[in-house]
Structures are given as structure tokens and as C-alpha cells.
Structure 1
Amino acid sequence: MKNILIVITLCLMFSCKKEYNAKSKPPTNRNFERALIFSKNGSPDSAFYYFNLSKNDFLDKNDSLGAARALVNMALIQTNTGDFFGGIESSLQTNSLLKFERGIVAKKILTSSYNNIANASNSLKNYDSAIVYYKMAIQTADNDEAKYICYNNIGDALINQGKIKLSKKYLKKAILADSAINYSRALNNFAKAKYLDDKDYNPLPDFNKALAIRQEIKDGAGLNSSYETLSTYYLDKDKKQSLQYAKKMLTEAVNNNSPDDQITALKRIILLESKYYLQHFKKLDSISENVQTSRNKHKSQFAMVRYDVEQKDAENKNLKLQKLEDENKILILFGSLLLSILVIVFLRKRQIRLKQEKELEVKNTELRYSKKVHDKVANKVYHVMSEVENTENMNKEVLLYKLDGIYQISRDISYEKNDVALEHNFSQHLSQMLKSYSSENIKVPIIGNEESLWEDVGDHSKVEVFYILQELMTNMKKHSKADKVLIDFSRENDLINIVYSDNGIGISEFSPKNGVQNTESRINSIGGTINFDTKTENGLKITLSFPQKINNYV
């Protein structure tokens, strides 16, 4: 993806120079020229700083086109360094500057901006938004090669959404690309889509052809993609082959200094080479921590660069506010009269709303007690039943103690007090709960559940996640017949992702019952999402995603 961004940026720069030459000399700006030098030398932070200065220079001269050029380069830097939300924000500001601009240069900048928003959205797994902006980039692109890149990216996003037949429509156009890099990417994705659509189709010739092209042109990112594709293809056919390609991907990712690809490769190796689990897991944890630290560093530096601009804007706004104060005094009398009318209307509506809220409160109380009974009593009873079943000659005193604990929970269920999930260190307590479902026949490896993962996460979110996972583990123990359950915790920017996967019998059709409805209700209550992957050939995969901090929640 970074290669694509660089190509489009270079095309944008040369195109802009051509149009200025057609009319007059291109505008000289020392800060912009310095930014280009730092960008070419691999110093994104310094490049961002000088692009920001040049943007202000252009705005001071009312040159919105020049400001847009600087701003879109800032957006590209942010996306390339993992600040995806910042990259989207800067691109949207670029689009705003070009609202009334026309001409070739404006279209090229828009193409780059749309493509950047799409790439950032794709990295955030917001595939619908990514597809929308890739299509917008196609509309403004002035050459076929740029369009082929977008067609390929749309096809890849559709594959991730499971819309295989539709993806083939776009990838069929993408393989018309002239450049070896773009053609090999499209060929690899097209073969993948055809195989996913028809399991009788043999994708290996095209997979290997794409791999050979990438080896010839030394396309590091492309090689990682090919190795990952081949490892996935052999995953359920030849685990030894799958492991070999995963290791090749790891080696190539290390050579290319691509930590994200290293993480992907290590996760696959951990899955396939369990005897070296601890060694690989330590390496995975170290790389993940370094990636997060690097991205946080870039975000912080970008924010500091923009702080001066925001401070200056705030001062200008204060001057404008002072100028408007005299004008506003005239409106005070009228506003007071209008306010009185609004207060009367508000009070009447408030009476109606309070009545409705009271009725809703009763319903919510009933629902809350129902959820408490399910989570705190039913699952606890099942725990005890499972222990009795799996423990020979269980001590009667221990059993009575556990039953008394259930009795105390059920007796105090109407009291509002701190949940048991928060009584100890949360990450340890969560791991203990998950590990309690393991036995001689069931292995429960846990990835990424560190104390740092839960920093700044609210208690309400922690409790809801605890009981969601407890519900999933209980259902696994009851129904799945699995002997291995993997729980993978990770954080991307301000989003926490949890992937549950097992190798059980899976579910052929998704039919939500009380337990599943509770999990959906809980994840919705913390502003998150839950996705049940019922198309997995072996076992079940469930993905949870929720924000670290959300407004209007506990």
C-alpha cells in the first residue's frame, strides 16, 4: 500500500508542475521544497512539519490549490505512519480546500486525496467507506493505470467482505494493468477470488506466476502478499507447506522492515507450530509493542506540529468574536423573548419525556435483572456442573462452598455494587476465567491480554466484555466439541479487537438465542460490534470490536 501512495504522490507532483508551466512559473515556497527533500530522505516527521508551514504560507496568499497540495502530502504521511484517522481528517480538509477549484491539478490532488481516504479506511477495516472513495478516485483519475490500482483495491476490499462474485468483476479489469507491480497484485487477488468462488478451480499457476513476477522485480510488499496467500491456501491442505510459506513471509517482512507483515506471519506460525509457541509469542508481543509505540510517537508529533496553527486560529476567532459582540447585543432582547417561548415548550415536552423515561426505566430494570441472572447465576451454575463432571471424588466442602457462593450472588442480585469481574486485576481475572474452561481435552491459548491493553478502558466496557467472553466460552463448552480455542486481543489506535476462534463443529446457520442476543446487546451498549463468521470451513470465528473510550457510556 505504501508503494501505491508514493507512486500517486509522485504523479501528483509532476502533474502539478506541468499545469503551472502551461500558465506561468510554479509558485516557489521554501518550506514546501524542504518538505519534499525530507520526504525523499525518509524523514516523515520533518516533512510533515514543513508541509504544514507551507500550507499556512499558501493560505496566507489565498492559494487554496497550493495549500491543498501541501495538505494532501501531510495526509499521505499520516496514513503511511499508521495515523489512519489523522490521514482521513487531513484528506477531508484537502477536499474542502478544492471545493471551488477546477482544472487538471485540482483533479489530480482530489484523486490522491480520495485514494488516501480509501487506503486509511481499508486499514481500519471500514471496507464500505474504502470502496466508496476508491470509486470516487476512479472518477477523477486521468490515466488508466491509476484506475487499475483502484479496481484492484476495490476487489480486495470486496473479498474481505465476502462478496466474491462482485470482487471478480473489478479484478477482471485490474489485471489489464501495464506495470509489473500492479499486474502481479491484481493477478494474485483475481486467482484468490476465483478459488473462493469455485473450490474446484486450481489457483496455484496464477499464485506462482504472481510470485515469480514479484521475485523478479524485488517487490518486497508483493512477496509478503504472495507468501501469505499461499500459506492460507495450504492451511487446510498441507500444514507443513502452509508453515513454510508463513516462515518465508516472516523472513521477507524482516528484510523489508515491515512490522505489520511480521505480525501476520507470526500469528500464522504460532497457529501451526505450537511447540515453539512461547518463543514466537514473545517475538510477536515485542513487535506489536514497538509498532504501537512508533505510531503513538508519530501521532503525538503530528499533533504538536498542528498545535501552533490551532492556537493561531483560536486567536483570530477571538478577534472576530469581539467584533461581533456589539452586533449580538441587539439580538439579546429578541433572544430572551424566544428563549421564554422555548422554555415553555421545553417544560411541556419534558413532562412527557419524564413519563416515557420512567416507563423505559422499568423495562430496563427487568432486562438488567434478566441479564444478571443469566451471567452471574446461570453461567456460575454451569461452571460448577462442569467441575463436578470433570473432577473425580470432588470434595463435598468445596462443592458446598461454591454452591453457597452462587446463593450469595443470587441473593444480592438486586443490589447495585461493583461487579465481581472488577474485584481483582482485570486482565488476570479475565485470563483466569478463560483458562477455567481448559482441561486435558481443551486447550485455551490467549494472545495479547496484557494490563496495558485495558488502560483507559472504562469499567462498564470491561464488565460487558468479561460476560460476553464468558457466554462464548460457555457455549463452546456446551456445543462446539472443540479441543482448541484461541482468544486474540489487540488494539488498533483507539479500537480494541478480540478474535475468538475454535476448531469445533461450527454453526451452519446463524440463529440468535438468548445468550447471543445478550452478547449483541452488551457489545452495542459499549459502542462496539460483534461479527459471527458462519462461513468458516473448520470451527467458528467471532470478532469483537469496541472503542477504548466512548461518550455517553459509563
Structure 2
Amino acid sequence: MAIKPNLFYDKAYELNSKGRTDSAYVYYDKAEDVFRLHKDSIGMGKCIVNKAIILTEKGDYYAGQELSLKAQQYFNKNNKDQYAYICSNYNNIAIASNNAKDFRNAIKYYDLAIKYADSEENELTYQKNKANTYKYEKKYPEAIKIYESILPQIKNTNKKLYARLLSNLENVKSLNNPHYNPEQQLLQAIEIEKEIDDKWAQNAGYAHLADYYMTNDKKKALLYAENMYQIAKEIRSPADRLEALQKLILLDSEKSAENFQTYLSLNDSIQREKDKSDSKFAFIRFDVEKIKRKNAEKEVELLYKNFGIGALVLTLIGGFFWFRKRKKRLEQEKEIEVKNTQLKMSKKVHDVVANGIYQVMTKIENQEDFDRDKALDELEFVYEKSRDISYDKIEEEKEFSKVISELIASFNNDTVKTFTAGNSPTIWESVSPTVKEEVYQMVRELMVNMKKHSHASHVALKFEKINNIVEIQYKDNGIGIPGDLIYKNGLLNAASRIEAINGTLTFETKTEKGLKVNILFPVS
């Protein structure tokens, strides 16, 4: 997998190597965002480690520790290619802990840095740092043991490190044993440092000598303190100049006041620069964190927006599947309804048509004198019933008042005029389907009887509802029916139907002309 370039990281590295750590911190932060965009966890870890080291160097030890601890999650301890970053990170935690006087954690993390050291040189550096922590903790024997184990390894290979460690060893030996004189070995270390022009190490060597002679030979102590002060000025180290001036104030009584004033002036200058640098860096960190916070808020806002869009999409998808499922369910219900209707009609055909024809056939078969007209009447009745069955579904879907009106109107022709009055939907609102069926059949039988027997030219039916009682008045201008013939003319069924719905059926036969029939039944 090709590594994607990160110009911010390259710029940060360049600035850091030049000592421009404030600017380097900003570019490391920008580089971290680029690495995050590319999902490069190692790159992110490198940026965080470098920012942590800068914070520690600035004296913000706790912030440096916090960032280094955060950086650990981006590295794989099983991958030796990442050991350089892992050990550097542990070393920074140890340095920050040491400067914060947390010696126990400093030793712990130096051990981890040594464990993951990617080179012998780095391992020796971490060993040296660990020994220095023992020195600050005043565990001199432990420090001496480490220094003495390192020195033989580097005597002929690394003059610079050898001289520095020799100087540290002699200093610790003198601290561990006040009767031990380290001067000869310290001067030997300084000679090596002069040879390789390591003025920073020379400065530390003179400081060790001045400290050793501070109580037992003030003249020598003053000489070494003056040497330290001159070297500190050459290397432009304000901190070392302050340390040297502290020694000179105590050792040179003639120039004590002068050195004290110099010390105060230098200390004020250092403090101002430090405050200025800290303030500048604080603003840099504040701006960096502010930008990060705004980016985080935008990410959260985008997350909520995406969540809302996602929820809407899921709702639409869910609604689509629900609609499709509901449609399928309705179709299945419709299919079931059609099948039930078919079964119902099949049963009716069997009960009405088949049974009716069978009854006619039985009568013809069993009668000695065949009555052709009577047989035709019975077959016509079966025919009418079968026609009713074919229209059942249609009638169920129509308003009952329309069904009745259409039934009556179907008998209207050139010789017979039918009239309907009062047949409004409100009359049938509370009438049950069973009662409607019986009423329909009774009206149909009256109209069939009229057509076959009355020779009427005008037929009228009036519908009325009074106090939950429905009244149907039938009237025609035909020849009428003698009372003793009523139940012999196909109206027996009408009489049985009215009884089934708890109603009454009255025939008025003694009229001047025609037939009147009153049908009454309760709504509920």
C-alpha cells in the first residue's frame, strides 16, 4: 500500500529540527488531521508523540504525559518497525514524570523505553536517563550501577557519551560518599569534551567540580564556577548562567553584590521571555484546540444530519415494504373473499337451482296426469331464483333502496307501468341484511304474481317508516285474486317469509278492482 504524502508533516519536521517548536506544533496538528482523513493511524501517532515532546520541553509536563498516553493506542507493540516511535513516546512520558518529581513512573517508563529501543544508541540514552532519575531520587548506588555497566560498552566507540557518563558517574560517587574525590576523573572527562568541542558537557563538568569543592575548598570552587560561567555565556544558556551566578554569589565576596544584580536582571529577563513564550504557545494551543472543537462540532452536526437522512431513508424503505406487504395482504383477503363468494354462490346454485329442478322432475315422474302449465310455472320460478343468484354480489354492493327500486323497475314494460314512493335510504339504515333479503324476495314474488296473474297495467309500491316499523303498501289495478286462491298462486312463500321476520302480511281482495297488500315488520 503506497504511503500518501503529507506536506504538513514534512513542514512540521523541518521546523522542529530548526528549533521552531511553536510553529512545528501547529503543523503537527494539521498533519494529524490529514493522517486521520487517510485513516493512517501510525501517522497520527507520530504527530501526537511529537506534540507531546514539545509540550514536555515547554514545561507542560502533565499535558505532555496526557498526549503521550493517548499516542500509545496508535502503535502496535508486535511490529518492530514501529519501535522507534514507541520507545520515543515512553521516553517522553518518563522525562515528563521525572520533571514532575514522579520518580516511580519515570523509572517504569524508562524501562519500557529500554525494552522497545530500536537501536543500541537509544537504549544507552534511556539507560543514562534512568540513572539520572535515580540520582535525582538520591538512590545513588542504583545510579552508579547503571553508569558503570554502560561505560565499558562505549569507551572506544562513543567519546561524547563516554565523557558525559563518566562526568555523571564521578558526580554521583561524590554525592554517595563525601570522602570520595572525583576531580581527576572529572578533569579527564572535560579534556575529552574539549577535544570533541562539547561545550555543553564541559559546562556540566565544571558545575560538578564547583559543587564538590563548595564546602572544602572555596578557592577551587570559585575557579570552576568562573569557568562554568564563561562556558555558559559561550553556549548562550541562560539557565546555566543563572546556576553559575548562584555559585559566584556565594564564593566571591568582593563581587557578590555585582553578581547578585546580574543574577536578578538575568532572572527577570529569563522570566519575561519564558512568560512571553508560554503566553504565545498558550495562544497557539488555544487556537489549535478551538479549531479542533469547531471541527468536532461540525462532525457532530454532520453526524446528526446524516442520522436524520438515514432515519428518513429507513422510514421510506420501511414504509415501502409495509405498503407492499399490506397490498399483498389485501389482495390475499380479496382472493379469500372471492373464493368465499364463489362457494356461497355454488351452495346457492345447488340449494336453489339443482334442488328446484330435481323437485320438478320428481313431480313429473310421480304424477299420472302431467300438468304442463304448472310444470312451466315451477321451472320459471327456478329460473327467477337462478337469476337472483347471479345478481347477488352486485346487489350486496348497492344501496338497498336502489336494489328495490331496480327490482320494481325491471317489471316495467309497454303494457305495465310501475311506480315507487318513499323508498329512501334512511328507511333501510337499521334493517339487517337477513331482513333485507326476505323483503327483497317478498317484493319480487308480488311482482312475479302481478305479471303472471293480475293483468294489471299500473303497479305502485309505497314505503314508509313509523316508530321503527316499516310498512310496504302494494297496489295494482289488475283483476285481483279471490281469497281462497291466494295461497295457491305462489304467494305462500311470501307468507312464510313475513313470519320469519316477525312481520304481518295482509291481502285486501274485496276491492273494486285490483289487489292491495300491506307488509309490516319491525326494524330491530
TM-score with structure 2 length normalisation? 0.53
RMSD: 2.6
Structure 1 position 159, deviation (Å): 1.4
Structure 1 position 318, deviation (Å): 5.8
Contact 1:83 1:298 in 2 (8 A): no
2:74 aligned with 1:94: no
Q: 1:70 aligns with which of 37, 40, 47?
A: 47
Which structure is richer in relative contact order (CA contacts within 8 A, separation 6 or more)?
Answer: 1
- 3-state SS of paired residue (1:65): helix
Q: Aligned partners of 2:102, 2:233: CA distance in 1, in Å?
A: 28
Query: Structure 1 residues 161, 139: closer, same or farther in 2, change over 3 A?
Result: same
Moved >6 Å (runs of 4+): 321-325
- 3-state SS of paired residue (2:214): coil
Q: Which residue of 2 aligns with 1:260?
A: 239
2:267 aligned with 1:285: yes
Q: Aligned partners of 1:294, 1:116: CA distance in 2, in Å?
A: 24
2:100 aligned with 1:118: no
Structure 1 position 167, deviation (Å): 1.4
Q: Aligned partners of 2:97, 2:81: CA distance in 1, in Å?
A: 24
Letter of the 2:265 counterpart: K
Contact 1:83 1:295 in 2 (8 A): no
1:122-271 alignment to 2 at 5 Å? Answer: 122-175=98-151, 176-177=153-154, 178-271=157-250
Q: 2:21 aligns with which of 12, 31, 44?
A: 44
Contact 1:107 1:140 in 2 (8 A): yes
2:38 aligned with 1:83: no
1:138-537 alignment to 2 at 5 Å? Answer: 138-175=114-151, 176-177=153-154, 178-275=157-254, 276-277=256-257, 278-296=260-278, 297-317=280-300
Structure 1 position 163, deviation (Å): 0.9
Query: Structure 1 residues 316, 323: closer, same or farther in 2, change over 3 A?
Result: same
Contact 1:243 1:272 in 2 (8 A): yes
- Percent same amino acid at aligned positions? 28
Q: Aligned partners of 2:289, 2:36: CA distance in 1, in Å?
A: 15
Query: Structure 1 residues 159, 314: closer, same or farther in 2, change over 3 A?
Result: same
Q: Aligned partners of 1:63, 1:41: CA distance in 2, in Å?
A: 26
Query: Structure 1 residues 47, 183: closer, same or farther in 2, change over 3 A?
Result: same
Contact 2:6 2:31 in 1 (8 A): yes
Contact 2:93 2:106 in 1 (8 A): yes
Q: Aligned partners of 1:294, 1:125: CA distance in 2, in Å?
A: 25
The alignment covers a number of residue pairs equal to: 302
Q: Aligned partners of 1:317, 1:259: CA distance in 2, in Å?
A: 47
Segments of structure 1 that go 5 or more residues without pairing to the other structure are 1-23, 326-554
Q: Aligned partners of 1:305, 1:204: CA distance in 2, in Å?
A: 50
**CA offsets per residue over residues 51-92 of structure 1, 9 Å max, x none?**
111111111221110111122222222333333333222222
TM-score with structure 1 length normalisation? 0.50
**Structure number with larger C-alpha Rg:** 2
Structure 1 position 287, deviation (Å): 3.8
Q: Which residue of 2 aligns with 1:482?
A: none
Letter of the 2:292 counterpart: V
Contact 2:77 2:86 in 1 (8 A): no
Structure 1 position 321, deviation (Å): 7.4
Structure 1 position 274, deviation (Å): 4.6
- 3-state SS of paired residue (2:282): helix
Segments of structure 2 that go 5 or more residues without pairing to the other structure are 309-524
**CA offsets per residue over residues 361-414 of structure 1, 9 Å max, x none?**
xxxxxxxxxxxxxxxxxxxxxxxxxxxxxxxxxxxxxxxxxxxxxxxxxxxxxx
Query: Structure 1 residues 294, 182: closer, same or farther in 2, change over 3 A?
Result: farther
Q: Aligned partners of 1:196, 1:209: CA distance in 2, in Å?
A: 19
Q: Aligned partners of 2:193, 2:182: CA distance in 1, in Å?
A: 17
Q: Which residue of 2 aligns with 1:103?
A: 79
